[in-house]
Structure 1
Amino acid sequence: MASTYVDVILDRAHRDLLDSAVRNVLATERALETFAQIADGLPLSSVARDCRAPYAYRHAVARHTSLCPGATEAALGFLSAFDLGRTLTFDKALLRAYQWARPGSGPSFECRLIELVARAVHGLAVLLYWRRHLIHDKVWAAKDPTYTVDAVTKPHPDSGRFKSPFYHPEYQMEDQYPDGIADVVGYWAENRILGGVVLLDRSDSWDDERNPEPNVFLHSSYDNVTFRVWRALDEQQQALVDFLLSRSPAWACPLPLLASDKNLDRIDVEYATHRKVYRDFWERRLPPAYGRFQEPHCVIDRLDYP
C-alpha cells in the first residue's frame, strides 16, 4: 500500500465524513462478528457455508458453530483503537480524487467514498490477521489437536489445501497481492460486511455533468446470490451512501448489499477485468488467452442470468 496522507490531503469536512462513514460500518453487528472470526482464527460454520467454502461440511470448521471465548472482546479492542490517519494507509491519488469531489455532488463523490470505506474494511482485516490472535487454538489445541486452525488448512483428500480459512473463491492470488495471504482475508471481510468485493468501472474518465460514473459493482460470494460481478442499483447505492453519511446510530443499515433479479447489469468474472471493472488490476488473474471467456447462457436463470 502507499503511504498514508489522510491528514495532509483531506480537508476537515472530507476527513470527518470519511471517518464517520468507516465508523458507521465498524459499529454494525456484522462487522464485529466478521472481525471476531478473524481474531478467533476460524470462520463460523454457517458463514463458511454461506460463502460457498467447499471445506465447510468436511473439515473441523463444521464444528465451529460459535465464537471462542475472547474472540469478540479481541475484535472490540482492535476496532476501538481505529484511527483514520494512523491505523490505515490509503493511496494518495485516491485521497485526492475524494478531496476533489464535493460531498453530495454526485457519482464521483459516492464512488470514492464507497471505495475508501471498502479499502478501510480490507485494510483493517489485514492488520487484524497479522496480529495472529488465533484464540481458537488457545482454547482447543491442548484439548483436541484435530480441531485447530492448522487442521483446517492442512491438505484434505477432497478439498486440497487452504492457506487461510477466510477467502473469497475468486480472490486467492496471494502471490500477486501486496500483503499476500492477508489480502485474501481482507477480500473475505469485504464480502461478509459489504456484500461483496467492491469494484469500480475504470473504463473512462468520468465527469459528473457530461459523463457520470456508473454505480459501484460488487463481486459476491454468497449462497443463492449470483457468482457474476453485478452493478448496484441507484436505490442500493443511495441507501449505502445515506447510511455511511448518517450521524444517527438508528439509521437503517442496508448491509450487506446483495443482488436480486433486478440487478441486470452483470458481468462474467472472466470478462470483468477486460471490461475494466476492478478495483486494482492485479486482484484477479486474467484468462489464459484474451477473448476466451465463458460462453453466455441461452436459458433464463434468475440467479445468474435473469
Structure 2
Amino acid sequence: MESKLTEVSPCLGLTNLSAEKLQPLEVALTSILAMPIARDTYAQMIDGTSVRDHPSPSNEAIQQYEEIRKGFAVRALKIDTKLIQDYLNAPLDSQVHLFRLLEITAASVHALAGMTYASFHPDTDIKPQEPRGGHLAAFYGTDQFYVDFYHDDYRLLEKYPSGLLNVVGYWAETQLFGGVVLFDRGDSGLEINSAFVHPRDPKRFSRAYQLSSQQMARFSDLSNPHSAAQLPSAESVLPFTQEVDAHTERTWTWTNGRPVRIYKNDYDKPPPACYSDHCVMKVTTK
C-alpha cells in the first residue's frame, strides 16, 4: 500500500540542505521514528480516535504507519524557511548547531504529525469558526477539544499557521520528546541559548525545564552518522525526563511584565496574564 502525505503549509523543503547538515537530521529522525512510542503516536493519529477510550492503536493503523516510515524521506518535509536557514548558518561542531539540530528535529516530528493527520482525516476543518468567548472557553472544564491529540497549553489554534494540525504537532512532540521543545531566545528573540522541554501538566502553572548538557550530549550521539553501530537506542534518550536539579522557567508572563524568553515560535507564545480578577485569560487552560 502506498501512503500519501499531505503538505500543510507553504514552507521550504529540506532539499537545499547540504549533505553534512542533512545527514545528522536523517540519522536522528530515522532512530526516533523507529521507536515504539513513535509508532503508537502516529498510528493513533491515523486512527483518529480518542486516546482516553482507545489507548492502543489498531493493527491496521500500525501497518499504515510502518509503510509511511519505511518510505519516509526527510527531504520531502516542509519546514519554516527561517528555521532551515538558522540551521544552515549554525557552525558545525558548535553548541548552537546542536540546539538548531534539536530545533529542526522537533519541527520535523511536528510537521510529519500534521501531514499524517491531514492525510488520513482530510475532512477536518483545521481552523473552525471561533465561538463566542473563544475556542478554549467552549471546552473549559472538560478534557475535550476539537481533536483528541493536544497539549493543554498549546491550543490557541487561531494563532497557528496550520491551526489544528499544529495542535496535533505539539501533541506529537510531547509524546516523543516528553514535552513541547522550547528554547531561550534571549532579549532579541533571535537567539538560541539553551533548550527546554514543556511537559503536559494541566494541574500546575506552565513551566518548562532546561535540558542538561548530558541530555544534549546524548541527543548529539543519537544524530551521529559516523558510528551507527555504537549509537544508543533512541529509547535510551527520548522522551526526555526532568532531572532532579533541572532549572525551570515559566512559559508565560504578566501584563507589563518581563517579556517571555522561553518559547518555540512567536505565534505560539501565550498572551500575557493579568493580575485583575476580571481578566478572562487564565495562566492554565484547566
TM-score by length of 1: 0.71
Q: 2:212 aligns with which of 217, 224, 233?
A: 233
Q: 1:200 aligns with which of 183, 191, 203?
A: 183
1:252 alignment counterpart: 233
Counterpart of 2:177, as a letter, is L
Cα separation, partners in 2 of 1:131 and 1:276, compared to 1, 3 Å: same
Q: 1:41 aligns with which of 41, 48, 55?
A: 48
Check the 8 A contact 1:215/1:234 in 2, yes or no.
no
Counterpart of 1:66, as a letter, is S
Q: 1:114 aligns with which of 102, 106, 113?
A: 102
State the 1:192 CA deviation.
0.3
Check the 8 A contact 1:194/1:256 in 2, yes or no.
yes
State the 1:279 CA deviation.
1.2
Query: Are 2:104 and 1:97 aligned?
Result: no
Distance 1:249 1:38 in 2: 32
What percent identity do the matched residue pairs reach? Answer: 26
Distance 2:11 2:250 in 1: 34
State the 1:99 CA deviation.
1.8
1:82 alignment counterpart: 72
State the 1:80 CA deviation.
2.3
Cα separation, partners in 2 of 1:157 and 1:224, compared to 1, 3 Å: closer
Structure 1 unaligned spans of 5+: 46-60, 135-154, 296-306
Deviations 1:89-115 (Å, cap 9, x if unpaired)?
12233222222223322x210110000
Cα separation, partners in 2 of 1:15 and 1:160, compared to 1, 3 Å: closer
| Greater Cα shift, 251-260 or 156-165 | 156-165
State the 1:133 CA deviation.
5.4
Cα separation, partners in 2 of 1:204 and 1:196, compared to 1, 3 Å: same
SS at match of 1:75: helix
State the 1:162 CA deviation.
1.5
Query: Are 2:12 and 1:4 aligned?
Result: yes
Check the 8 A contact 1:225/1:260 in 2, yes or no.
no
State the 1:159 CA deviation.
1.8
Coordinate RMSD, CA, aligned = 3.4
Check the 8 A contact 2:31/2:222 in 1, yes or no.
yes
TM-score by length of 2: 0.76
Of structures 1 and 2, the larger Rg is shown by 1
Cα separation, partners in 2 of 1:166 and 1:16, compared to 1, 3 Å: same
Check the 8 A contact 2:252/2:273 in 1, yes or no.
no
Q: 2:261 aligns with which of 276, 298, 302?
A: 276
1:169 alignment counterpart: 152
Counterpart of 2:107, as a letter, is R
SS at match of 2:101: helix
Check the 8 A contact 2:152/2:202 in 1, yes or no.
no
Check the 8 A contact 2:252/2:269 in 1, yes or no.
no
Counterpart of 1:267, as a letter, is E
Counterpart of 1:75, as a letter, is Y
Distance 1:66 1:93 in 2: 37
1:68 alignment counterpart: 58
Cα separation, partners in 2 of 1:282 and 1:3, compared to 1, 3 Å: closer
Count how many residue pairs are aligned between Structure 1 and Structure 2.
250
Distance 1:274 1:201 in 2: 12
SS at match of 1:70: helix
Cα separation, partners in 2 of 1:250 and 1:288, compared to 1, 3 Å: closer
2:134 alignment counterpart: none
Distance 1:278 1:157 in 2: 24
Structure 2 unaligned spans of 5+: 1-8, 123-137
State the 1:121 CA deviation.
0.2
